């Protein structure tokens, strides 16, 4: 899941070493509604997948993204 951290780091312009699974909008300054859209777009592009609207609303932390990717067989 290092790729996930890389995507999060690039989207929110933060150091990859400072990312933790439990981090979400309360922990990452640029993770607001626009940041969420940018993150989803980057994830879909990087992993060549498409998230359903319901899934997007289930993302509150980096760990939530890991679960969604795992459900697609992406590790």
38-48 tens-digit pLDDT = 999 999 999 99
Average pLDDT, the chain: 95
Is 54 contained in some domain? yes
Rounded to 10°, the helix 62-71/33-47 angle is 30
pLDDT at 9 over 80: yes
Query: Which residues span the domain enclosing 62?
Result: 1-13+32-75
Kindly give the residue spans of alpha helices, DSSP state H, lying in 1-75.
2-12, 33-47, 53-56, 62-71
Distance CA 29, CA 47 (A): 24
Q: Which two structure tokens, joined as six digits, stand for 60? A: 């509150």
pTM across the whole model: 0.92
Is 61 contained in some domain? yes
Is 18 contained in some domain? no
Q: What angle do CA 68, 47, 21 make, to 5 degrees?
A: 45
Is 23 contained in some domain? no
Count of the separate structural domains present in the chain: 1
Is 38 contained in some domain? yes
The DSSP symbol for 59 reads -
Q: How confident is the model at residue 28 (pLDDT cuts 50, 70, 90)?
A: very high
């Amino acid at each position: 899941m290092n790729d996930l951290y890389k995507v999060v780091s690039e989207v929110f312009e933060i150091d990859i070493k400072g990312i933790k699974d439990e981090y979400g909008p309360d922990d990452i300054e640029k993770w607001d509604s626009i940041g969420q859209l940018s993150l989803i777009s980057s994830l879909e592009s990087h992993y060549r997948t498409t998230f359903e609207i319901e899934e997007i609303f289930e993302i509150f932390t980096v760990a939530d993204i890991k679960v969604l990717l795992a459900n697609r067989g992406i590790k």
